[in-house]
Amino acid sequence: MEKLFTTESVTCGHPDKLSDLIADSILDAYLKQDESSKVACEVALGKNKVYIIGEITSRAKVDIDEVVRNVINVVGYNDDSLLFNGNTCKIIKDISTQSPDIAQGVDKEDTGAGDQGIMYGYATNETENFMPLVHNLAHKLTDRLEYVRLNGIIKGIRPDGKAQVTIAKNDDEVTVKTVVVSCQHDEDKDLELLKKEIKEKVIDEVIPKKYMKKTTILINPTGRFVIGGPAGDSGLTGRKIMVDSYGGIAHNGGGALSGKDYTKVDRSAAYYARYVAKNIVAAGLASLCEVRVAYAIGMSSPVMVDIDCFNTNKISEEEIEKIIDKNFDFSPKSIIETLNLKHLNYYDVTKKHHFGDSSLPWEKIIKLKK
């Protein structure tokens, strides 16, 4: 029986992704000066305004306005013709220090969780990086869209863009049913030429021909896409949590990743759950693995660690859980140390889509003690 799976991805110029990148650049700036900084930073964009809201406790002295403007300009919104300009946008800040009620839970020797919540990690053996194939394809499309814009391979395109891929699985056969690419462009860009260029220089470069059988391709389905980015739609930190994780293929606890320091288990435990799930699959113990973990604020041990191998496990799930107990420590302190979370560049993590890139610490494959 044929089953369909759809996921999406967005470029750095998408207003929600841009909000995430700004939030993580602020986090990076504080951690660079003071690795013990506590940051919970939310960003909202729209109408040539940037709102920075949150709680930050740090010894660092950061020029937030400079950080914000630099990110926006690097992403490509650096001209008034785009109706959103990093050089001229208004920046509004409402930042307080971290609540002492939260601080008393995380500022201790055994480091308690910075919040309560449920996190999921997922891995599959259907790709070399142990990510869902359909989600890999969606991310590769937006990565390529960025590349052709920044390198001038396609002229007249702007920073905002999205991709969506639908695949069909029928027994062991996989085909791509639908590809949707939406790309912001200059006012005078010929739309037929744009569609031809995106088909040839983006889609054909990314999706293997073996999957492209009777594929429906939709490029800028509404036709015109000149007004985009924060001028076309508001942006908000954490509004792309499915894009940032597994595209809806796995469960999601609902917690956003960006703008949060390493004590926030919404972020750190989500990375660690992926680390565990990937190593279970890489060790050949299962073809699919979802790791579920939950915390209470201020507590150093999770209140739940559970797995689901979707009947693909080669040994019992009880035995796999024992292997997890022997090899992995879910305490926030251990997660921070194991994944080197005090010394990451979180802007790069967000730009790399959080999961699947081999350079990220939670993507490392280790030899499990059985």
Which pLDDT does position 282 carry in this prediction?
A: 98
Mean pLDDT of the chain: 95
**What is the average pLDDT across 89-114?**
75
Q: State the architecture of 3-10+133-228 in CATH terms.
A: 2-Layer Sandwich (3.30)
Q: Is 288 left (phi over 0), alpha (psi -120 to 50) or beta?
A: beta
pLDDT at residue 255 in the model: 92
pTM, entire model: 0.95
Residue 288's beta-bridge partner residues?
Answer: 124
Tell me the DSSP string of 125-156. TTSTTSS-HHHHHHHHHHHHHHHHHHTTSSTT
Cα 337 off chain centre by: 21
* pLDDT tens digits along 224-250: 999 999 999 999 999 999 999 999 999
Percent of the chain with pLDDT strictly greater than 90: 90
Cβ–Cβ < 8 Å for 176, 215: yes
Average pLDDT over every residue of 92-110: 71
3-state helix, strand, coil in the chain (%, to 5): 35, 25, 40
Q: How confident is the model at residue 106 (pLDDT cuts 50, 70, 90)?
A: low
Identity (one letter) of the amino acid at 331?
Answer: S
Residue 105 has pLDDT above 80, yes or no: no
Q: Quick check: 101 pLDDT over 70?
A: no
pLDDT above 90 for 98: no
In 3D space, the residue among 228, 235, 188, 182 whose CA is nearest the CA of residue 83 turns out to be 228
Alpha-carbon gap, residue 8 to 18, rounded angstroms: 16
User: Distance between CA 343 and CA 352 in Å, rounded?
Assistant: 17
CA distance 257 to 253: 11
- 110 has pLDDT over 90: no
Task: Report pLDDT digits (tens) over 130-161.
Answer: 999 999 999 999 999 999 999 999 999 999 99
Report, as an integer, the average pLDDT of 261-268: 95
pLDDT for 352 equals: 96
Could you tell me the residue ranges of all domains in the chain? 3-10+133-228
> Per-residue confidence at 15, pLDDT binned at 50, 70, 90?
very high
pLDDT digits (tens, 9 = 90+) for 45-62: 999 999 999 999 999 999
pLDDT tens-digit series, residues 325-349: 999 999 999 999 999 999 999 999 9
> Looking at the predicted structure, is the pLDDT value of residue 104 above 70?
no
What pLDDT was estimated at residue 171? 84
Please name every residue paired with 117 in a beta bridge, in sequence order, or none if there are none: 295
Whether the predicted pLDDT of 163 surpasses 90: yes
Q: Is the pLDDT of residue 21 over 80?
A: yes
